[in-house]
Structure 1
Amino acid sequence: MSIFTVLLPDIGEGVVEGEVIKWLKNVGDALAQDEPVVQIMTDKATVELPAVKPGKLAKQHIAEGKIAEKDKPLYDIELAAGVSAPQDSHGHKEAPKQEAQVSEKPQATKATASAPVLSATGKALATPATRKLARDLGIDINQVPGTGKGGRVTKEDLEGFLSGESDSAPVSSEARSGNLPAVTMSKTPVFVYEGDERIPLRGLRKVIAERLVESKTIVPHFAYFEEVDMTELKKLRNELKPLAEEAGAKLTYLPFFMKALTLAIKKFPIINSSIDLGTNEIVVHKKIHIGMATATKDGLIVPVIRDADQKSLIQLANDSQGIAQKTRDGKASSDELKGSTISITNIGSIGGLGATPIINYPEACILGMYKIQDRPVVRDGQIVIRSMMNISFCFDHRIVDGANGAEFCNYFIGLLNNPGRLILGS
């Protein structure tokens, strides 16, 4: 019997670990080459890893809900007769012969922080995502004791460091000076009652929770509400729908809003920016990549429409529908889920008159679209019925002042109130 240990391979640039979401095969199951074995979630995407050779699943080294590290054992294959092990260049290695066994879930232990552990280069051991969070929070990560495997610094270590629960050195001068808010983790007890259900906070839901907390912790949000007279836009859309259908596109209101957003950004480029806290600079993005908040069965995901300012209404319609469906089907690639510079969330089809959406950090702005209603409004001194939609913008107040946000919003609304300007591109 030949046992071969499969290591977690390189599954993305800068990805050094991932959560085991689901084992698609049980110990003892036969494996065909390239058959999916395990589902891994990183902070960039969820991927299914295939069997590198045919055989039988002999052992699962990492339990569901636990973290697998790059180049560390993930599972063992009992190779089929006559099958040779893959080359080392594949990132795997031969394991000693052993009996097939079911992996046991490790007992939960409380990690104890020690002195900071530094690599051979003098830097703390941490994932790129954790390093970025440390920079954003103004923490010198080399001063943070790590409780992760091998002394690795985790997000929880950073939170404990800021809340004063770590025995480490104080936070950096930037955080002390008040330029960045400190994170205070709530210690309020949770009241549990008979019949309550516990749902593990893991997988995509955990990633969503962490990113929302990151955004609300770092970014001082300010919201701006307005309403759009959609009457003329409804007429234009109805006129263009048959032409769009001939081109194979379903023309919703979203492409019009995307087009208006790109034109407004051209006039107010600071809206399409981010703060690089590592260099204390505002980065004004020349590319306009629109993130499109998409509801899936697992949670909210934000795929990206790239170079939106270079695309026609038909192209925006096709691209937005295509990427939304791929995202709902779980087939969007990691590249399709990152790199947006501004985002839109559209809950108009569900309902609601307004909300204050959380900024998709590190962007500086998010647009919320809501339902269209026929309302009485005053036009030229007369009460008339018009199709109206409420919208909201949330801005990063470190970048966008209130007056700038209002001017941007007013210009954006003017484009939608006179939708012919969207066709002309001005």
Structure 2
Amino acid sequence: MLQHIKPDRVELGMFVHGFVGSWFDHPFWRKKFLLEDEDDLLKIRQSKVEAVIVDDERGAAPKIDRPSLTPVEPEPVRRLATQPNPMTARYTPPSVAAKSTGFKQEAKRAARIVEKSKKQVGAMFEAARMGQAIKIKDVAPLIDEIRESVERNNKALTNLVRLKSKDEYTYMHSVAVCALMINMARKLDLDDTTIRHMGMSGLLHDLGKMAVPQMILDKTGRLTDEEFSTIRTHPERGHALIGDNPEVPDMARDVCLHHHEKIDGTGYPFGLAGDEISMAARMGAICDVYDAVTSNRPYKDPWTPAMALGRMGQWQGHFDERLMGVFINSLGLYPAGGLVRLNDHRLALIVDNCPEELMAIRVLPFYCTSRLQEIKPQELIVRPDQGPQILGIERPDFWHFEDWAALRSSVLAKAQGLSAAA
């Protein structure tokens, strides 16, 4: 049976079915899980939610000496996809299980998907350029293949599609954004239909560039003001090309039209701000920019993934900060200067990625989450399946680190002092 109880009555061993109260007060992305971690218990007890819904048939029941509030029935529908401004990321298992495979093994499958994508997406975009109606049914199966590849190994396909030639950039950029949005949606544990719609949104987000003169798209030098103004019309042109096509979900129309809006209202075409921008469009904005800056282009060198995440995280007012955290966690890459949680009850500062070890990350643990106090920072190399592991990125303000820049500098200085003393 499901019961409402106050946050301070929650105990380890209970099965959390959900939370009651404002979405912004929810301590986790995931709504259903067995409570086994003391840090998670502390977060729930310190949260501002009105009540916690526990399932006493799947976990420990509330103590009977303090009666619970009225029992509740299970929610009939998911609400996550409609929320405009989600909270910080926490790892959530995907809603559809897929057998994980190694990078090299999945890279072969991903290469076949890339070749198929070039033909199918290229044909759809060229049809749009010629003024013909786009046929979603021709690319819908491709979205499921991309999703399956991402579920098996989320790095194989996204790494391959970063290598684009000039002639295929717009097509393959759309495939990359499709894969990134699917990967991000899985991290949010969205339902299957929403994940497919996210994939379709990524695939169609730049359709309007087919209405922009090719000479402008291919230009390697600086755009004139007039050319830049023309480029900025592509969201509205894409929305017009989609039209009232019944095969296209409303989410894809929304992302196509609004993926260049910014949280602070300085984006285009409408200058929307804050909650005026849907969650899907905010996700599209992040995925669009990330792939653009990490891709090979004839006029600029690509940024490394870690460099891109670090710089994007510093663009104040550009992206939704909470969704940026989700995106970073979904990639399993962490920018220097970021705050992460380890699986041994410590918070750590990301120093850098180890150039000599591709999958290793250098961090400085400096805070104990079980004792809620600072500890001496000591360098730690985090390696896959060896020693402490990173659970995910954390928001400094959640831990009341109000001046994160100052604290970050202090941690680095202390670590350098300890190293010199040794």
TM range (shorter): under 0.3
Q: TM-score, normalised by structure 1?
A: 0.25
More strand by share: 1
Q: TM-score, normalised by structure 2?
A: 0.25
Between structure 1 and structure 2, the one with the greater Rg is: 1
